[in-house]
C-alpha cells in the first residue's frame, strides 16, 4: 500500500517490510486487517522476518508469494566475545532453587506483568528466582513489581 501511495506522489523508492511478530500474530490474523497486511507485504520490494518460525507462520497464515529472508532480531554472537568473569549458578541461587529467566524488550505487547504474575504463582510452589534481561518502557515497572506484591 505504501508503494502505491508514494507512486501517486511520483516517489519511487524501494519498500522494505520487516515482520516482528505482533504485526502478524495479532494484526495480520485479524479478519478485518488480514487482506491489507497481505497486500502490503506482497507488494514490498524486500521482506524480512526476525525468526524462521515467524517466516513459516506468516507464509502459512497470509499466503505470501515471493521470497523473504530471516534477519534475527537479537545479538550476533559472532560479533561479541563472552566475558570470562561470568557468574556461576551458585552465586545466584541456593542449591534447591530453580532459575527462571525472562528476556524481553519490555514493551506492553509482551505482557511482562502477566509473566511476573505467573512467576509469583510458581514461586509459591517451587523454590525459585527470576532474572529479567533486557530494557524497554515497562522495565522499571517490572523491577518494582516484587515490592508491590511481596515477591523477594
Question: Are 55 and 8 contained in the same domain?
Answer: yes
Q: Are 7 and 58 members of one domain?
A: yes
Q: Are 64 and 93 in the same domain?
A: no
Bridge partners of 113? none
Can you give the residue range of the structural domain that contains 115? Answer: 89-149
Low-confidence ranges of the chain (pLDDT < 50): none
pLDDT for 122 equals 86
- Asked if residue 79 belongs to a domain, the reply is no
Number of domains in the chain: 2
Model confidence over 53-97: pLDDT tens digits? 888 888 888 877 778 888 876 666 677 676 666 777 788 888 899
Q: Looking at residue 150, what is its pLDDT? A: 62
User: Does residue 81 form part of some domain?
Assistant: no
Residue 83 domain-assigned (yes or no): no
Query: Does residue 126 form part of some domain?
Result: yes
- Where does residue 88 rank: exposed (0-12), middle (13-18), buried (19+ CB within 10 A)? exposed
For residue 38 the three cell numbers come to: 497481505
Contact predicate 133/104, CB 8 Å: yes
pLDDT of residue 76: 65
Are residues 54 and 98 both part of a single domain? no
SS3 for 102? Answer: strand
Q: What is the pLDDT of residue 42?
A: 87
Quick one: the chain helix, strand, coil %, rounded to 5?
A: 45, 15, 40
- Residue 100 to residue 97: CA distance in whole angstroms: 10
pLDDT of 152: 54
CB 104 within 8 A of CB 114: no
pLDDT at residue 8, as a whole number: 81
| Burial classification of residue 103, based on how many CB atoms lie within 10 Å of its CB (0-12 exposed, 13-18 middle, 19 or more buried) | exposed
Q: Residue 151's pLDDT is what?
A: 56
Last residue of a domain, one of 35, 70, 105: 70
Residues 7 and 60 in one domain: yes
Instruction: Report how far residue 73's alpha carbon sits from residue 80's, in angstroms, rounded to the nearest whole number.
Output: 15
Instruction: Indicate whether 13 and 66 sit together in one domain.
Output: yes
Q: What is the dihedral of CA 28, 29, 31, 33, to 10 degrees?
A: -10
Nearest in space to 71 (alpha carbons), one of 15, 19, 23: 19
Q: Are residues 14 and 64 in the same domain?
A: yes
Amino acid at each position: 500500500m505504501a508503494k502505491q501511495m508514494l507512486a501517486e506522489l511520483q516517489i519511487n523508492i524501494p519498500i522494505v517490510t520487516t515482520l516482528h511478530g505482533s504485526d502478524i500474530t495479532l494484526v495480520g490474523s485479524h479478519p478485518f486487517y488480514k487482506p491489507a497486511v497481505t497486500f502490503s507485504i506482497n507488494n514490498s520490494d524486500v521482506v524480512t522476518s526476525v525468526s524462521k518460525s515467524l517466516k513459516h507462520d506468516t507464509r502459512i497464515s497470509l499466503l505470501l508469494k515471493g521470497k523473504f529472508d530471516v534477519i534475527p532480531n537479537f545479538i550476533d554472537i559472532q560479533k561479541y566475545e563472552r566475558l570470562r568473569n561470568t557468574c556461576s549458578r551458585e552465586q545466584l541461587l541456593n542449591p534447591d532453587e530453580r532459575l527462571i529467566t525472562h528476556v524481553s524488550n519490555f514493551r506492553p505487547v509482551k505482557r511482562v506483568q502477566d509473566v511476573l504474575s505467573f512467576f509469583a504463582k510458581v514461586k509459591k510452589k517451587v523454590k525459585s528466582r527470576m532474572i529479567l534481561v533486557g530494557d524497554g518502557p515497562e522495565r522499571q515497572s517490572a523491577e518494582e513489581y516484587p515490592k508491590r506484591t511481596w515477591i523477594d
